[in-house]
Structure 1
């Protein structure tokens, strides 16, 4: 069944109720006692939720109880959000309100006396419902579990692997096998008999890590090299005693095995003595298959026991899905297992879908099979799952059904691809599960940017509060790093301040599966929206149809990731205001509406609003500034927009602002009052000649200035931009970059930029001198489509923290600085469509290759590759 996310919702509610700011605010309006009682009941229920979620799979009554509880939790969340809205409204009224505003406030439902009465009743109603549902918890015999240990319990029934494999069943892994065997047969770097080489194989679930390990384990060369081979599946909890018993039993193939039920009677000393006697003087290979433990203390303890008296050259081969575990255990660089080629995938599919030679009788099925294989994206277990599901089926419609359906809609056996992938999901901590599920709202192959998921997760209240000296950006980066470590993300590029990534198609299928009771990606075949759905994404604008005929009042997200061009946005907005009063996210990018209704100001819970690239809209209603919860406002690309709305200063929660306007001067008195503003993008504002003269942005971290044709100056200094980390200047063809710092004294503090990009600047002949001031902070530098850039300065080598350097489409650039080898921190150099650079620095053959050969990742790309990238 799909994930309920109920534990993380309970945690979020309790954290909010327990916060100092919330408790203080509740005292002010006289609701402290009501909210404290609600918190007590929530805490009682939360204590048994983990046990309930573990036991629900085969207990329909328990599933229904959890659904009821989840419904109450969401209603409680809405009540608390209402409370926060009132608190924000009072802050705005105090800071920016007029007498007219105060009178209006007094006669509205926000009047303190009216609000207190209404809220008290709503809290009582929620508490009463919660008490009623919570009382039923006793009849399920649920245990109290305070820590999220459900992964251990779920793993107890997981698959156990063995070491047997037929070479004929392994396709496309010969090269990987040879690489691993070469590592296994090498001498240990410190071959003193006291060290063990540990070689990790890492990859997404179903990619064939275990199969590869078997392939290696059964090779005759391994038999000749190692006097002892042991295979241990580690998949349940990493218990040292149990693992030693498994290792001893793996040696004692023909002896009576140690019994697990006698485990309590055998202490670690006795087990160690047995293990030592079995391994003494033996050169062994130990495979630890399917490792999930990231407790370094336990790993070091096991490693120390294993290397007691071992023969030189002993090795451990580890398979895991998690990069951080591979890094912790490995003594060499991990072997990252890649997807199978389309040809090998098809061969594997035929092996599972037909008896030998039978495929020749069914060429029409083979053509459909090729399309089915594409869905698998080179993951062998997915190929096997779909191939075996079609074995002995010869009707074209059965094959077409598999071709045309999402994998999560197809029946799955215990060892098939979706259960295999879901094991990785089961190991996610509760705070990451909903974040991951929201990937289902985007189409396959979507290119994500970290700030995009940041604002979505933040708008829906899924981000933990930053700890001391942390920012929300740090929290998002930690979340993404953890998802990357667990192989959920791919094509990951970290620029130092922003990340870009994609997710594998099969991981997308997993997100669809776990989110199906919460999220809906609407395609042509979907006729209506179930009432329980809270997050909606339209694959195409014309799929709206009559989707909103149901009572979908719970909807919190509406988005068009591929754009809403052609959609009847006016009607949709009216529906949102009348029905979706709890909406948090409304993304109408590429819409074509001419106006927005004044009533949009009633969507007081809205955190995320975008009409990016609307080419028709000329005015925004001032009522949009009533949205005190708004964290993102994106009107970038709205080239007919004559002016920004009045009252921007009232958007006190705004963190990201992206604008296009015909105004020659920005309303600085409004924007500089946005005390939380961290990201600002100004694009296609062609009437502006200068911006930011003497204006302070104390919290701004990211600044994009794009396609502002008249812009001549852009004064930046650390006094006005103390937190600025990311600067992107693109297609500002009249901007003189060298004028930026002329009027500043040399002794002034320096900008602490981490990421700088210059794109589409034909006036750029050399890098501006002020960039040298960022020597101690700059981590990424990107230069693209600067047609007249002739040289990179020798002082580039002073950028000692530079990790990433991208140079794309700079045809006049003929060489890199001679001392580029001084950039010892540089990890990634990408050069594309720079003919001379490509010739001189071509890996291994270019005359200057030796100057950059120290760099970990060097990409010298063909011109046509860049052109393909531009087309995408």
Structure 2
């Protein structure tokens, strides 16, 4: 059953209604009373939403009530956004000073008189709907809860016993954990205590962390090595008193003879008596304590418990299982043991064990072959294998097996201890804002390679991010969300280069996203029925394009084409969408092949993101695009036939991200100087550009990316005072040192990527101006580079340095040991330099041996340019 994001949506709408823009506009258009009425009613409703979400399964009709609240909030946001658009239009008209534009604005559909009448009618209707729905909610007897303290349904309590003969494929993991438990670890917990070591096992739900801990706990070697063993499941709240009771009881069960003299009901003891009894129990004992299924991220609570546990003998160990890498880092005193999925061979063995009686599989070789395909969708997760295998036990119908093979796991019936409920525990534990962002992953196909900045821009366009605190940037909030999802084991194959980062979503996590988002988010194929309430749509198959044209909802906010090579080739289809879906926020037409973009695109006043990447036929854009005052992202990357940028580009005063491919040789500096919100600017395959700008001050620009601009000769760093990120890739005529060597200016640069710049024999001296800020430096395929300057070793914040395919580079600066912040050094494709950096024997080894992550002679991440192009879905030209 689909989830709703109503609390987060209501909170976002209330923030907008409380802003000065909305208050001033509502007064100016004489709808202040109605807007305040909406705000007051929504404030009351919001107070009971958390209680409603808790009780939605128990009370009949509550789910429908929540759906109605969510719909009216989203509809209200669509209507009230008209205020924001009107305000932006006024700013543009005022700044232009053009009488013609002012007259045109008066006779347009957005002039004040028409706008006032239309808004008054629509807002009154929204207020009426909200009041009625709010009144209907009174019958449910909901309580007011203002803070999200919802109790998360945990899985049932675990126990220590396991039949080892039934566990498949974890022998190596068991030996590795036992090795960690038995080896001396003199550094203790980092607080000066040498008697306590905490080893975390981390992995996604259903991966077998608890089973592995059981295998270790019941191994006979543990009985010989530890005097006392205790197993405690923590999956409910991290209550110190209850945990102490559980530990004491487990110790008593482990060694009952010791505790006969102290047999009493410890539940009646107060906390002072309990902690005394715990310390007595553990004192001078070398113990093993398993804390299974940790969800607590409150460090103060953990430290409080840990202090009680420090009385054991030297060599005592605590083994922790958790789904969260951040919790593991908080608790662990050694690096976390990251549990991987089972091999395909082991998964198949486990599947056969659950799908057949012993030996019976030999009678059904055709079913076993289908079983191999079923196992693939489990992606190494044992609980998923067990779920699908057990659903087929004693069922020999070929069509049933094919049905299981061909359908997503979220479409199959699930029992409470199956994989989807197990994964949903992690989802339920998320804060509401994170759930809303997580659901958006369902619009992309499985195994999709996400670029962090790309998904962040979409979240921003939809208003899914929380409000910035102080000077905090939205992209930093988005990165926090992604880091949190990664910490919760929802993301995999994470590659982090600082500003640029990539990841994938585990297939089973994708099933979860599809499950929770299925009523409003939809990846369309040719056979699906499209729900009338869908708001976010993604086209997943070529055959589904005509099918997607006819969906009923007129409140669609997202249309995506995420699959490489599949787009729109029909301008009439675009005209239909523009006419029908006037509340679109995101229109991604990547890989399309229409020749002209309709003038009517200007009707999409709510549009925040417009992507035309890799359209190889489009030659011009309509000048009407300048009316999209809400537009934040415009991507024209790979539009290799685009002759010129549209006139009036400078009127896009909300534009933050602009990605350009054009045949132009000269850019309008006035237009770019007017883009007061522009944060990132990408030029790619702009073959005729020799210069970007000469005098236009781009005072808000933070990211500049130039790639495959074969005629470009120089970069205007002097007009980019806030530049933090610079990527220069395959610009053969560019001399990075030109015109900047006379003086070194202080820079804010944090990320610098230089690739395929054959004229660079040394690093440009202006980089020294980023001594106090540079964090990532990537140098790739610079055939002429011969020297790294000594001033590089003064980069006090440098964390990552990658040098790849620079064959003439022979030396490292002698002061490399001074780069104390450097955590990641990779050198590859530099034969002589690699030889000098060989572990132990190389003459530079003593310079770099302190670095945490070293890769000499083998590139971990492969070619970064390939990553950039494949993840951002770009096509290379010869």
With the shorter chain as reference, the TM-score category is: over 0.9
Aligned to 1:504: 506
Aligned to 1:418: 420
Q: Map of 1:286-305 to 2, 5 A cutoff?
A: 286-305=289-308
Q: Please say if 1:123 is aligned against 2:119.
A: no
CA distance in 2, matches of 1:497, 1:144: 42
CA distance in 2, matches of 1:34, 1:863: 61
CA distance in 1, matches of 2:40, 2:334: 51
Q: What is the CA distance between 1:427 and its match in structure 2?
A: 0.9
Aligned to 1:536: 537
Aligned to 1:739: 738
Q: Please say if 1:335 is aligned against 2:334.
A: no
| 8 Å CA contact 2:657, 2:680 repeated in 1 | yes
SS in 1 for 2:546: coil
| 8 Å CA contact 2:59, 2:140 repeated in 1 | no
CA distance in 1, matches of 2:845, 2:838: 6
Bigger CA drift: 369-378 or 782-791? 782-791
SS in 2 for 1:545: helix
Q: What is the CA distance between 1:98 and its match in structure 2?
A: 2.0
Deviations, residues 163-183 of structure 1 (Å, cap 9, x unaligned): 111222222322322232223
Q: Map of 1:268-667 to 2, 5 A cutoff?
A: 268-307=271-310, 309-526=311-528, 528-563=529-564, 565=566, 567-667=568-668
Q: What is the CA distance between 1:453 and its match in structure 2?
A: 1.2
Aligned to 1:82: 82
CA distance in 1, matches of 2:808, 2:84: 56
**What TM-score, normalized by structure 2, do the two folds share?**
0.93
Q: What is the CA distance between 1:600 and its match in structure 2?
A: 0.5
Aligned to 2:17: 17
SS in 2 for 1:492: strand
| 8 Å CA contact 1:231, 1:287 repeated in 2 | yes
**What TM-score, normalized by structure 1, do the two folds share?**
0.94
CA distance in 2, matches of 1:786, 1:644: 32
- CA 1:520 to 1:260, structure 2 compared with 1: closer, same or farther past 3 Å? farther
Bigger CA drift: 681-690 or 670-679? 681-690
- CA 1:853 to 1:844, structure 2 compared with 1: closer, same or farther past 3 Å? same
Deviations, residues 278-298 of structure 1 (Å, cap 9, x unaligned): 333332221111111111121
CA distance in 2, matches of 1:738, 1:754: 19
| 8 Å CA contact 1:47, 1:146 repeated in 2 | yes
Deviations, residues 441-484 of structure 1 (Å, cap 9, x unaligned): 11122221121111100110111221112111221121112111
Q: Map of 1:774-853 to 2, 5 A cutoff?
A: 774-814=770-810, 816-837=812-833, 841=837, 851-853=847-849
Deviations, residues 196-254 of structure 1 (Å, cap 9, x unaligned): 22211111111111111111111111111222211111111111122222222222336
- CA 1:259 to 1:84, structure 2 compared with 1: closer, same or farther past 3 Å? farther
Q: Please say if 1:57 is aligned against 2:60.
A: no
SS in 1 for 2:205: coil
CA distance in 2, matches of 1:54, 1:689: 61
SS in 1 for 2:231: strand
Aligned to 1:716: 717
CA distance in 2, matches of 1:43, 1:266: 44
CA distance in 1, matches of 2:24, 2:579: 33
- The partner residue of 1:179 within 160, 176, 181 is 176
Bigger CA drift: 777-786 or 189-198? 189-198
Aligned to 2:114: 114
Q: What is the CA distance between 1:817 and its match in structure 2?
A: 4.2
| 8 Å CA contact 2:526, 2:547 repeated in 1 | no
- CA 1:762 to 1:362, structure 2 compared with 1: closer, same or farther past 3 Å? farther
Deviations, residues 34-72 of structure 1 (Å, cap 9, x unaligned): 211111111111111111111112444111111122221
Aligned to 1:234: 234
CA distance in 2, matches of 1:334, 1:193: 19
Deviations, residues 298-340 of structure 1 (Å, cap 9, x unaligned): 1122222233x43332222111111221121122221121222
| 8 Å CA contact 1:729, 1:759 repeated in 2 | yes
Q: What is the CA distance between 1:869 and its match in structure 2?
A: 9.5
Q: Map of 1:32-43 to 2, 5 A cutoff?
A: 32-43=32-43
Bigger CA drift: 61-70 or 393-402? 393-402
CA distance in 2, matches of 1:494, 1:619: 37
Deviations, residues 758-780 of structure 1 (Å, cap 9, x unaligned): 12222223322222332221111
| 8 Å CA contact 1:540, 1:563 repeated in 2 | no
SS in 2 for 1:604: coil
SS in 2 for 1:289: strand
CA distance in 2, matches of 1:131, 1:813: 72
Aligned to 2:851: 855
SS in 2 for 1:800: coil
Aligned length: 860
SS in 1 for 2:61: helix
| 8 Å CA contact 2:442, 2:513 repeated in 1 | yes
- CA 1:431 to 1:65, structure 2 compared with 1: closer, same or farther past 3 Å? same
Q: What is the CA distance between 1:4 and its match in structure 2?
A: 0.7
| 8 Å CA contact 1:200, 1:320 repeated in 2 | yes
SS in 2 for 1:739: coil
SS in 2 for 1:737: coil
SS in 1 for 2:87: helix
SS in 1 for 2:377: helix
- CA 1:153 to 1:658, structure 2 compared with 1: closer, same or farther past 3 Å? closer
SS in 2 for 1:276: helix
| 8 Å CA contact 1:709, 1:734 repeated in 2 | yes
CA distance in 1, matches of 2:21, 2:266: 54
Q: Map of 1:680-759 to 2, 5 A cutoff?
A: 680-717=681-718, 720-742=719-741, 744-746=742-744, 749-759=745-755
CA distance in 2, matches of 1:589, 1:45: 40
- CA 1:689 to 1:456, structure 2 compared with 1: closer, same or farther past 3 Å? same
Q: Please say if 1:215 is aligned against 2:215.
A: yes
CA distance in 1, matches of 2:75, 2:165: 57
Unpaired runs of 5+ residues, structure 2, are 871-878
Aligned to 2:873: none
Q: Please say if 1:168 is aligned against 2:201.
A: no
| 8 Å CA contact 2:245, 2:266 repeated in 1 | no
- CA 1:132 to 1:810, structure 2 compared with 1: closer, same or farther past 3 Å? same
CA distance in 1, matches of 2:695, 2:40: 51
CA distance in 1, matches of 2:861, 2:334: 32
CA distance in 1, matches of 2:213, 2:20: 53
Q: Please say if 1:769 is aligned against 2:765.
A: yes
- CA 1:703 to 1:578, structure 2 compared with 1: closer, same or farther past 3 Å? same
- CA 1:244 to 1:467, structure 2 compared with 1: closer, same or farther past 3 Å? same
Deviations, residues 386-440 of structure 1 (Å, cap 9, x unaligned): 2222222333333222222111112211111111111111111111111111011
| 8 Å CA contact 1:715, 1:741 repeated in 2 | no
SS in 1 for 2:549: helix
Bigger CA drift: 74-83 or 577-586? 74-83
Q: What is the CA distance between 1:539 and its match in structure 2?
A: 1.9
